[in-house]
């Protein structure tokens, strides 16, 4: 059975979390955290108009407190996690 659609509405505040598969690290060092913050600010906040009220980046997961002026949470999360993963995989290959 499929999951019900996520409730999204303008001006909503969300506590967002995501973690690595099987609790694997998603941030190996501060450079990875910088890539994530850059992705959040340049690809999600600027594109979707999100307001980030706070964040916490742990080794194997993150927490974000965001406000979405438009009902676009799913689009922004897909963009954030997808671009970060692509960037970090490419960055890791160069190490």
Nearest one of 48, 68, 50, 61 to 7, comparing CA atoms: 68
Evaluate whether 72 touches 21 at the Cβ level (below 8 Å). no
Given this model, what pLDDT does residue 7 score?
80
Strand-pair partners of 65: 15, 54
- The pLDDT tens digits for 71-91 are 999 999 999 999 999 998 876
Mean of all residue pLDDT scores within the chain: 91
Q: Tell me the pTM.
A: 0.87
pLDDT confidence bin for 61, thresholds 50/70/90: very high
DSSP assignment letter at 70: S
For residue 93, pLDDT over 60 is answered with no
CA distance 8 to 6: 6
Which structural domains are found in the chain, ordered by start?
Answer: 12-85 (3.30.70.1290)
Given this model, what pLDDT does residue 18 score?
96
């Amino acid at each position: 059975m499929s999951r019900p659609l996520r409730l999204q509405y303008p001006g909503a505040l969300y506590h967002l979390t995501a973690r690595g598969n099987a609790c694997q690290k998603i941030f190996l060092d501060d450079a990875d955290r910088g890539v994530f913050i850059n992705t959040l600010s340049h690809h999600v906040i600027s594109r979707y108009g999100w307001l980030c009220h706070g964040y916490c980046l742990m080794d194997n997961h993150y927490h974000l407190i965001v406000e979405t002026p438009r009902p676009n949470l799913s689009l922004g999360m897909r963009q954030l996690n997808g671009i970060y993963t692509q960037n970090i995989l490419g960055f890791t290959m160069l190490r």
